[in-house]
Amino acid sequence: MEVRRIAGALGAEILGVDLATSFSEERIRQAFLEHQVVFFRDQKLDPAQFMAFARAMGRPIEYPFVKGIAGFPEVIEVKKLEHEKHNFGGIWHSDTAYLDEPPMGSMLLAREVPPHGGDTEFANQYLAYETLSSELQRLLSGLKAVNSSSKADVSRTREDRIASDGKNAKSEYTAEHPVVRTHPETGRKALYVNCAHTARFAGMTEEESAPLLEFLFRHQVKPEFTCRFSWRTGSLAFWDNRCTQHNPINDYHGHRRVMHRITLAGDRPK
C-alpha cells in the first residue's frame, strides 16, 4: 500500500489496495485523518462490498431526502442524467450540516462518468481557520451558526433526485453548531460554516450575519486550500466531513454521471 499526496493542501491517493479483498483498516484510517480525503482507483465493488468497506470505516446511515438503492437503504445514487441541468449537491458544502449530528465522513464510488468534466473539488477547513487573524479566530470561537436544509441554492440541486428517488422526509432540518469546531480525533480546529447550509449566526438576523459569512464563504475555498479529483469508473473518494468541504463541478451538460454514495454517522460538533 502506497499513499501519494495529490496537492499541497489536502488529498492523497492510496495505491496497491483492492477493497474487495483485504485492506489495512488502520493504515487507511491513518491516511484519512492525515490527508482529510483519500482516493482509490479501479475498485470493482458491488453494493455489498462497498457497504463492507464503509462498515470497516464507520457506521453507515441513511440520507434524509433520497431513497437508497434496492436492498441497500444507506447507498444512494448521486446522478445527473443527460437532460438535467443541475447536479446533485452542486455547490460548496459540508454534508448535511443541518443535522444535529452531521456525518463523520462520506464515500462516493463512480459507476458511470462523462467523457470529460465532472471533477470534484475539496477544501481544507483546518487551513481556512488557521489562516485567519488571531482576532477573527477569537471572535468566531464564541459564535454558533444556524444551518438549514432549505437554502435555495442547495435545494435546487436536489430537485431532480427528489422527483425520481425522493422519500417522505421533513420539509426542513435545522441545527445550531459552533462556527469553529474541534475535530474529535485530531484535536485540530476547523472552520465549520458553508454557503449551502449556513443561514446566519445564532442570535443574529440574516442581514446582520451576511457580511461576515460572505467573507468566510469566499475565504474557506481559496484555491490554495483545495485539491481537485478527476473521476474514472471505479474511482472511490472517502472524505472527512468534519474538516473539509467539497464541490462537484457541473461542467458536463448532455452527459450522464452516476455515483453511489454512503454516509457515515458522526457526532455533535463541539
Active site residues: 93, 95, 246, 261
DSSP states of 168-227 as a string? ---S--EEEEESEEE-TTT--EEE---TTTEEEETTS-HHHHHHHHHHHHHHTT-GGGEE
CA dihedral 46, 48, 53, 54 (to 10 degrees): 110
| CA distances to 25, 63, 108, 249 from 156, in Å | 37, 17, 21, 15
Our CA dihedral for 135, 136, 139, 142, rounded to 10 degrees, sits at -120
Cβ atoms 93, 87 nearer than 8 A: no
Q: Is the dihedral of CA 210, 211, 214, 215 positive or negative?
A: negative
Q: How far is residue 229's CA from residue 110's CA, in Å, rounded to a whole number?
A: 12
Helix (H) or strand (E) holding 28: helix 25-35
One-letter amino acid of 207: E
From residue 98, alpha-carbon distances to 2, 68, 164, 177, 216 in Å are: 36, 20, 23, 9, 18
Cell, residue 120: 470534484
Name every residue whose Cβ is closer than 8 Å to that of residue 158 and which is 6 or more positions away in sequence: 65, 66, 88, 89
Are β-strands 236-240 and 37-40 bridged in parallel, bridged antiparallel, or unpaired?
antiparallel
